[in-house]
Amino acid sequence: MSMRAPGKSRHSLPVKSAPGAREQARAEAPRMTERSVIISPPTRAEGRQVWVDGELLGAVHSLSGLTHVLQGAGWQGLDEVDAAESPVIACYGGGPEVWSRND
């Protein structure tokens, strides 16, 4: 049994795909439903900033506020439990129960 490096043929020539194959596969692939959501640490004045896919959507002061902002960003049907337990929502400076520096 012979071991080959990934991307190499039996004759050690690079494996190449047809021109445009990668772009076509990307276009035909189903759209990802998961998005990047970052909740910043709480501040005194603003609460916690909400970033979705690298874009600042605003600041919130509660889990209810977070749910409202995410629903406005297209997360239809999202409730507070979903927002608190979602693995795609990264909370920094405390979990979904922390909304001020005093919590």
Structure tokens at 3: 């071991």
* Distance, C-alpha 9 to centroid of its chain: 36
Mean pLDDT by 10 residues, the chain (103 residues): 42 44 46 73 90 94 95 91 93 92 74
* Distance, C-alpha 28 to centroid of its chain: 21
Predicted confidence at residue 83, as pLDDT, reads 93
pTM: predicted TM-score of the whole model, two decimal places: 0.64
Predicted confidence at residue 36, as pLDDT, reads 87
Instruction: Compute φ and ψ for 70, nearest 5 degrees.
Output: -70, -35
